[in-house]
Amino acid sequence: MTNKTINWFDGRESTRTLPPECITECSASGDQTDTVRGWVEELNFDGPVDQFKEYLDGFGCWDDEELNDHYENRCRVLWLWAGYCLDNPNSYDYLYLD
């Protein structure tokens, strides 16, 4: 496996889907921080810095300083997306950063 980061987004829309195992593991109950980080690494999950920040800012959960950490933003977006996929499996195959 390579450490090269893959851009999962073309503009604001994802170009790939999450593996079912990723969805299940990242959406499990309890603190899944280490699990999500593992999947970010395994999938080489990445996307547009500014759009990730803007997307996450819309939730109002993180302050500006926290949103300046792109690695953590990658983890946050993956975690949120996995949760959406678990809750609405037919609606979130692809993620749109609205």
Q: What is the average pLDDT across 8-28?
A: 94
Q: Does the pLDDT value for residue 4 go beyond 80? A: no
Q: What is the average pLDDT across 66-85?
A: 97
Count of beta carbons in the 10 Å neighbourhood of residue 37 = 17
Residue 67 belongs to a domain: yes
pLDDT of residue 32: 96
pLDDT of residue 33: 97
Dihedral-angle region of residue 76 (phi above 0 means left; psi in -120 to 50 means alpha; beta otherwise) = alpha
Residue 1 belongs to a domain: no
Q: Does the pLDDT value for residue 49 go beyond 70? A: yes
Q: What is the average pLDDT across 52-74?
A: 97
Cα separation of 24 and 28, whole Å?
6
Number of domains in the chain: 1
Residue 97 belongs to a domain: no
Residue 12 belongs to a domain: no
* Domain that residue 74 falls in: 21-87
Q: Does the pLDDT value for residue 2 go beyond 80? A: no
